């Protein structure tokens, strides 16, 4: 309905967490220096042991600031282009558009309870104050949720377990890990790619105390087992850096949502609100894990090592670089063909032009267009972290030579500071070697011949 309230729910790193006005998770070079050099800083950023679904106590408590509107990343796990200009792009009036800020470190159950209070207050205010001449149906307004990444899990718990579906018109997810993310498991076991060892270990040590990350441990069949084929991760499997309770808690969290969906479907019907899932499916993404004898877990971007014969014939599975295409599909949907797929990587799913077109239709209650992805199945790969002045590589695969791909580097204000042609390497592959000074940069792979662009964020230290 045109008069519904639009609420954006960010994911990890999408809300500023502050102490004495300082954004402590804005990973500038100074902040990284504090994490690496100060035990006191690391202890402050951790959460207390056995916090589970509760709020943190001092000195671990942080103030919740506003939404992040510029590029951010948590090296080894997630990156985010931000929400700059989103309301304007969607052409929504300021009073009808709000962002739910929350402490993304905490349990998603905790955040869902806070979302319930937020919705109760904001929706009532909108229903009472909206101009009836402009919004004649506002007194019966509901909520249109736009959810980035983990924000979709917060909303799903709110709508299904806490009964929030009664106040919900629609839920749109972008890159939400409905059954977890193998990349989160890589991060928690200290095997993040490209992140320098000391930084990798210190950030892992801090973030392994966050219940929200434990609730991203995958629950679908990710383990390649020689005897049993592909199976789910078991809490009895020893994983360095991952407490067994985190695996058990992830299973409980997703099971609570799945059980609530089944119960609500049976009592109230499946179409209680509209559900839209957007995702990325072009980029190499961790899909599975194996346990070679006497060595660390090994991560796989496909199921070719599976002993389950059915897995051998799966099409090459990909994702958005962070979440697999399988995990971006709501569990009650029967096929990965049902989500709307984009060319984008995880960082840019909410800002891509084709996504904006569809989100505007959803907010205006207009039927969706059916095609989001271009005809070019290009996959892009780049590091999360690089060293200032030293070369690093950007690769594009499945890219026809006619695309003449280029890469450019954008400052945080969006200004282009460098633009170069990528070199074709044969086999539909392009490569560029890039150097950059210290800072947080957006890298954009694009074609000057067709309408194609793919963005992500890199931290240069």
| CA–CA distance, 441 with 412 (Å, rounded to integer) | 6
Q: pLDDT value at position 316?
A: 66
At residue 429, the 3 state secondary structure works out as strand
| CA–CA distance, 320 with 323 (Å, rounded to integer) | 6
Handedness of CA 260, 261, 267, 268 (dihedral sign): positive
pLDDT > 70: what percent of the chain? 97
Q: pLDDT value at position 371?
A: 60
pLDDT tier at 256, thresholds 50, 70, 90: very high
At residue 188, the 3 state secondary structure works out as helix
pLDDT tier at 241, thresholds 50, 70, 90: confident
Q: pLDDT value at position 1?
A: 64
Does 206 score more than 90 pLDDT? yes
Q: Give DSSP secondary structure letters for 52-110.
A: TTS---TTT--EEEEE--S-EEETTTEEE---TTHHHHHT--GGGEEE----TTS-HHH
Tokens read off for 389: 């002045």
Does 294 score more than 70 pLDDT? no
Structure-model confidence comparison of residues 240 and 133, the more confident one: 133
Does 373 score more than 70 pLDDT? no
Q: pLDDT value at position 170?
A: 97
Q: Which long-range contacts (C-beta less than 8 Å, at least 24 apart) are formed by 363-367?
A: 363/4, 363/6, 363/90, 363/92, 363/144, 363/146, 364/2, 365/1, 365/2, 365/4
Q: What is the dihedral angle through the alpha carbons of 60, 61, 65, 68, rounded to the nearest 10 degrees?
A: 30
pLDDT tens digits along 427-450: 999 999 999 999 899 999 999 999
At residue 185, the 3 state secondary structure works out as helix
Q: Which helix (H) or strand (E) holds 458?
A: strand 452-460
Mean residue pLDDT of the chain comes to 92
How many separate helices (H) and strands (E) can be counted in the chain?
11, 24
Q: pLDDT value at position 101?
A: 97
Distances 75 to 67, 96, 245, 269, 320 between C-alpha atoms, Å: 19, 34, 24, 42, 16
Q: pLDDT value at position 409?
A: 95
| CA–CA distance, 180 with 221 (Å, rounded to integer) | 11
| CA–CA distance, 122 with 203 (Å, rounded to integer) | 35
Mean pLDDT, rounded, for 255-261: 97
Does 372 score more than 90 pLDDT? no
Q: Residue 293 burial by CB count (10 A; 0-12/13-18/19+): exposed, middle or buried?
A: exposed
Tokens read off for 210: 């966050």
Least confident of 140-154, 157-171, 323-337: 323-337
Q: State the pairing for strand pair 392-397/429-434.
A: antiparallel
Least confident of 137-151, 165-179, 269-283, 369-383: 369-383
| CA–CA distance, 199 with 15 (Å, rounded to integer) | 22
Q: Which helix (H) or strand (E) holds 443?
A: strand 439-447
Q: pLDDT value at position 224?
A: 92
Q: Residue 157 burial by CB count (10 A; 0-12/13-18/19+): exposed, middle or buried?
A: buried
Mean pLDDT, rounded, for 24-29: 80
Of 66, 76, 73, 74, whose CA–CA distance to 103 is shortest?
66
pLDDT tier at 459, thresholds 50, 70, 90: very high
Q: Give DSSP secondary structure letters for 295-348.
A: S--EEESSSTT-S-HHHHTS----BBSSSBTTTTS-TTSS-TTSSEEES--GGG
Does 422 score more than 70 pLDDT? yes
pLDDT tier at 367, thresholds 50, 70, 90: confident
In contact, 339 and 126? CB cutoff 8 Å: no
Q: Tell me the sheet residues that pair with 431.
A: 395, 423
Q: pLDDT value at position 317?
A: 73
pLDDT tier at 85, thresholds 50, 70, 90: confident
pLDDT tens digits along 303-326: 888 888 778 766 667 999 999 999
Q: pLDDT value at position 239?
A: 87
In sequence order, the 6+-apart residues with CB closer than 8 A to the CB of 355 are 174, 278, 342, 344, 349, 372
- Whole-model pTM: value is 0.95
Q: pLDDT value at position 221?
A: 93
Distances 241 to 38, 41, 47 between C-alpha atoms, Å: 21, 20, 16
pLDDT tens digits along 27-44: 776 677 777 677 888 888
Q: How many CB atoms lie within 10 A of CB 40?
A: 10
Q: pLDDT value at position 152?
A: 98
């Amino acid at each position: 309905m045109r008069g519904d309230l639009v609420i954006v729910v960010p994911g990890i790193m999408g809300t500023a967490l502050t102490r004495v006005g300082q954004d402590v998770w804005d990973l500038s070079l100074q902040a990284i220096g504090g994490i690496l050099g100060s035990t006191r800083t690391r202890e402050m950023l951790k959460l207390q042991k056995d916090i589970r679904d509760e709020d943190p106590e001092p000195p671990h408590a942080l103030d919740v600031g506003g939404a992040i509107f510029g590029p951010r990343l948590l090296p080894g796990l997630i990156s985010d282009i931000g929400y700059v200009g989103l309301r304007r792009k969607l052409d929504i009036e300021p009073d009808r558009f709000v962002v739910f800020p929350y402490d993304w470190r905490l349990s998603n159950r905790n955040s869902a309870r806070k979302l319930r209070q937020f919705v109760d207050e904001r929706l009532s205010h909108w229903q009472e104050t909206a101009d009836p001449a402009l919004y004649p149906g506002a007194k019966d307004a509901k909520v249109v949720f736009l959810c980035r990444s983990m924000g979709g899990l917060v909303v799903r718990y709110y709508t299904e377990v806490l009964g929030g579906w009664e106040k919900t018109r629609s839920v749109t997810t972008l890159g939400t890990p409905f059954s977890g993310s193998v990349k989160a498991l890589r991060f928690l076991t200290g095997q993040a790619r490209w992140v320098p060892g000391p930084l990798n270990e210190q950030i892992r040590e801090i973030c392994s105390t966050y219940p929200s990350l434990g609730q991203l441990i995958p629950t679908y069949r990710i383990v390649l087992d020689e005897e049993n084929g592909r199976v789910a991760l078991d809490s009895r499997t020893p994983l360095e850096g991952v407490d067994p309770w985190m695996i058990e808690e992830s299973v409980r969290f997703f099971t609570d949502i799945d059980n609530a969906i089944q119960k609500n479907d049976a009592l109230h019907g499946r179409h209680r609100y509209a559900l839209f899932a957007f995702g990325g499916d072009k980029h190499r993404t961790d899909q599975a894990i194996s346990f070679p004898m006497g060595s660390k877990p090994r991560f796989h971007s496909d199921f070719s090592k599976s002993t389950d014969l059915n897995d051998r014939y799966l099409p090459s599975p990909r994702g958005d670089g962070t979440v697999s295409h399988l995990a971006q599909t709501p569990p009650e949907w029967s096929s990965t063909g049902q989500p709307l797929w984009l060319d984008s990587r995880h960082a840019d799913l909410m800002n891509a032009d084709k996504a904006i077109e569809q989100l505007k239709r959803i907010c205006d209650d207009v039927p969706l267009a059916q095609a989001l992805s271009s005809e070019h199945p290009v996959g892009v790969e780049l590091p999360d972290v690089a060293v200032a002045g030293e070369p690093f590589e950007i690769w594009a695969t499945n890219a026809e030579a006619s695309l003449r791909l280029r890469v450019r580097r954008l400052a945080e204000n969006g200004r282009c500071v460098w633009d170069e042609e990528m070199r074709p390497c044969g086999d539909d592959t392009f490569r560029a070697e890039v150097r950059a000074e210290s800072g947080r940069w957006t890298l954009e792979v694009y074609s000057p011949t067709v309408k194609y662009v793919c963005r992500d964020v890199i931290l240069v230290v």
